[in-house]
Amino acid sequence: MNTIHYSFDTLLLYVTIAFVAAFFIYLSKTGHKYIKRTSKNFPLLLFFLLLTVFASIRMVSFGGLGGKDSYTYELIFKYSFSGSSRFINYDILFGYFNKLIRTFTDNVYIYRTICYAIIVYGYVAFIKYVCPENVSALPFITLMIPYLKSFNTMRTSIAISVFLIGLTLLYRKKDLKAAVLILSTMFIHRISVIFVIFLLFYYIVGKRLNRKNTYKIIISSVVLTAICIGCAFFLRDYILVAEILDSHDMYYLNRSKSGTFSNIIMLIPTFLLIVVWFMKANSIIGNRDDKMRFLEILIAFDCIIVPVAAVFGIWRANEYLYLPRLSLWGVIVFSIAQKFARNSRSLIYLLFFIGFSTWLVYRILREWEPNGLMPYIVA
């Protein structure tokens, strides 16, 4: 019987897949300019096929192998028309999604392929339409972190990708379709309600930020963050005293008060990004095209909402706008490298490669056991 245990071979495999996926992003955003007969879309197609197939063919079994919650999701799918399910009353869109696929097949591999096609397509759509062109692909090495987490909490990852597709449509001025998709995410996973607020932020605050320079956006974000964190602490304590949520949500809310270290770890990348973003604002100001302005609005909202989510113990909230953060990191890394002479840039990129790779390995080693990520076995 296969059980969860540490596997160096699996770690090496995950890191290799991360490098290959980042290379495909490089070919799509920059590399196609230097390699003859390489289009922007073909590398993204390879990226889509790689990550979709890699997730779909893994072994999932009772006991957490292949992702702690994956086996449960497959049981929910197989018996979606029989027995009771929490998706009748909560997160009903995910319940209907399961029933729709179950109408045609009971094959869990087909089900998994459809789910991961949606998840990876969210990545592809955002990278293709919103991620700026002058960007380094090195930060995207760490895209493997939320992707691997999807092995455990697949439903949340579907909600995140639908949200990303909605953002892509919003950038492309397809506001009604974007609003429908973004609103639908809270019926896939109810924690998405905190990110549905982005629609209000975009139309009320974001449009004004769009006309400001980078420094003003950063300062406004920090001020709003401080105000929102204060409000979040007050609201959390009130909910805990009043006990107005169900026992499942109250458990996570109570845990947020004691999970200080985990919350700090969750916020470190966001705070670091704010600091570097501020330091490199001059470089970004000179390159504020439509993509960059929209990306800055996303990051401004992310800087505000992630600390608030940490107060409420919503530990996966930092993944909703993870891809926009990587895109900004890519812009920053690219702008830093351009400040150096051409013969020195290889060393700069090597240092960033080591940094992002180290962060990836650290996160995998820290999270493989609670998420059931090792060993990876082909079914």
Q: How far, in Å, are 218, 228, 319 from residue 276 at the CA level?
A: 11, 22, 20
Encoded amino acid at 28, one letter? S
Q: What is the pLDDT of residue 82?
A: 76
What is residue 246's predicted lDDT score, i.e. its pLDDT? 55
Per the prediction, the chain carries an average pLDDT of 83
Q: What average pLDDT does this structure show over 70-98?
A: 82
For residues 13 and 4, give the distance between their C-alpha atoms in angstroms, rounded to a whole number.
Answer: 16
pLDDT of residue 116: 97
pLDDT at 307 over 90: no
Considering only residues 229 and 12, tell me which one the structure prediction assigns the higher pLDDT.
12
- Contact assessment for residue 128 and residue 47, using Cβ atoms and an 8 Å cutoff: no
pLDDT of residue 152: 92
Sign of dihedral through CA atoms 266, 272, 274, 280?
Answer: negative
Q: What angle do CA 223, 227, 230 make, to 5 degrees?
A: 140
Spatial CB neighbours of 36, under 8 Å, sequence gap ≥ 6: none
- What does the radius of gyration of the chain's CA atoms come to, in whole angstroms? 21
What residues does each domain of the chain span?
8-371
Q: What are the tens digits of pLDDT across the range 259-298? A: 544 555 666 666 667 766 666 656 655 566 788 888 888 9
